[in-house]
């Protein structure tokens, strides 16, 4: 299980950014995620900030960049605190590759996500991620 400290300054910025996104204020959300990126003090915080920065990008290349950054920092974290990010990161990286027309890399990343998606809990987010990975693999392996 992922334990996210709601008092962590990076987490607070990202939570506020999510709220702005839900209010349709993408520009404000982007500024909050950029601020979180500036506040990061370790690999865990960098992973979180990059993950949220990827959400507000408009080009597949920028989405890919920030998701790859999040994955790079997740791999540097030497504990289970980011384990549940992996399926989503691989899904998002795969989708960026797919949107750029690179189905070979898309499939590779979707399969990486599928291989570990069962680490997610059987809850709404876990089920959404599982379904998205399955649909993505069906889409690109036709």
The rounded distance, in Å, linking the Cα atoms of 80 and 16 is 25
Mean pLDDT of 24-41: 97
pLDDT in tens, 47-86: 999 999 999 999 999 999 999 999 999 999 977 888 888 9
- What domains sit in the chain, N to C, each tagged with a CATH number? 9-140 (1.25.40.10)
User: pTM surpassing 0.85?
Assistant: yes
Phi, psi of 5, rounded to the nearest 5 degrees: -80, 110
């Amino acid at each position: 299980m992922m334990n996210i400290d709601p008092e962590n300054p990076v987490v607070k910025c990202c939570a506020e950014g999510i709220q702005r996104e839900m209010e349709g204020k993408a520009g404000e959300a982007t500024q909050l995620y950029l601020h979180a990126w500036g506040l990061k003090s370790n690999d865990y915080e960098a992973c979180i900030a990059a993950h949220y920065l990827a959400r507000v990008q408009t080009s597949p290349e920028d989405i890919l960049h920030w998701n790859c950054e999040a994955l790079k920092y997740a791999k540097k974290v030497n504990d289970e605190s980011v384990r549940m990010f992996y399926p989503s990161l691989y899904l998002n990286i795969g989708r960026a590759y797919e949107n750029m027309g690179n189905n070979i890399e898309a499939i590779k990343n979707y399969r990486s996500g599928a291989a570990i998606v069962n680490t997610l809990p059987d809850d709404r987010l876990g089920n959404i991620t599982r379904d998205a990975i399955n649909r993505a693999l069906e889409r690109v392996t036709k």
